Amino acid sequence: MPSVISTLIASAACWSVVAAHTVITYPGWRGNNLHTNGTDGQDSLGINNIPTGALSVNPGTNGSGPTFPYGMQWIYPCGGMPTSTNRTKWPIGGGAVGVQPGWFQGHSKAFFYINLGLGTEPQNMSHPMVPVFEILGPANTMYKGEFCLPQVPLPANITVRAGDNATIQIIETAQHGAALYNCVDITFDEPENVPEVNETNCRNSTEPGTEIKFDMVFTTTSLDSSAFTLHIPTIVPTVLTIALAAFWL
C-alpha cells in the first residue's frame, strides 16, 4: 500500500516523539499509533485507566491527562487503538498480510506472531495463524523495507462465513525484548469480493538497503534431567518458505 508508506514517511519528520516501530501495510491497520496521542480509552479487552505511576505513564501537565504510552504500540492487544468502524474485507480461506517492520532502530532482528481474534469485539487473540518466524532486516537503524505473506491461513480448526467479523493481531518482538502490537479489523468475504492482492499493495522489498530476509526458528525436545544432555534441535516448519517462493521476490 504505497500511499500509506508515503504518507507516513512524509509526516515522520514532524513527529516530536517517535517511539514505536511497525506498520501493517496490508490489509490495513486500526490507525496510526507510531507516536503518542494521549488517548485514555477502553478497548475491546477492557484495558482502561492505567494507574498513575504505572510503568512509563506520564500524567501530563495542567490536567492534560496521560500522554504515554496511550495510543502506542507497547499496549496489548492492539497498540492502544480502539476497534475500527471501517473494516477491511479479507478472504474466508485466508489471505495476504503485509508489514513494514523497521520504523525505529533496533529492528535488524525480530520475531513475528500473527494471531486471530474472533468477533466484532474479540475477547482474546489466542488463535495463531502461522508459526512464529524471524526476520533479518538490512540494518539496525530505521529502514523502509516491507515484507508480504501472500497466503496467511485461518487458524487450525477455525471456520468462518462471509460477513463474520474478526481482528488480525500482529506482534513484533524486537531483539531488545520489547513486544509491539498492531491490529487490523476485518470482515470475512468470498475471495471474488476482496480486492486483488498484487505487488502494488503487498510486496517484498528488493531495493538496496530495504531487503528483509527470513530465518528459521528452532526448538528442542525436553532436557534429559538424568543425563543432562540436549537432544538435537528440530526445525519448526512454517508456511513462509512455500508462500514466499510462490510470490514476489
pLDDT tens-digit series, residues 109-130: 889 999 999 999 998 899 999 9
pLDDT at 195: 92
pLDDT grade for 208, boundaries at 50, 70 and 90: confident
Q: Give the integer Cα–Cα distance in Å for 151 and 169.
A: 16
Phi, psi angle pair for 146, to nearest 5°: -125, 155
Give the CA-trace dihedral at 70, 76, 78, 79, to 10 degrees. 30
C-alpha cell at 182: 498492531
pLDDT in tens, 48-86: 444 444 444 444 454 555 444 555 787 888 887 888 888
pLDDT range class, residue 216, cuts 50, 70, 90: confident
**R_g of the chain computed on alpha carbons:** 19
Q: Is the pLDDT of residue 7 over 50?
A: no
Q: Which residues contact 37 (CB under 8 A, 6 or more apart)?
A: 70, 71, 80
Q: In percent, how much of the chain has pLDDT > 90?
A: 33
Cell, residue 173? 518482538
Tell me the β-bridge partners of 26.
98
Which tens digits make up the pLDDT trace of 13-28? Answer: 333 333 446 889 999 9
Averaged pLDDT score across all residues of the chain: 72
Q: Rounded CA gap, 111 and 236, in Å?
A: 14
Kindly tell me the burial class for residue 108, based on how many C-beta atoms sit within 10 Å of its own C-beta (0-12, 13-18, 19 or more).
middle
Strands 179-189 and 88-91: parallel
Confidence of residue 164 (pLDDT cuts 50, 70, 90): very high
Query: H helices within 14-154, ranges in order?
Result: none
State the pLDDT at residue 82: 81
pLDDT of 184 > 90? The answer is yes
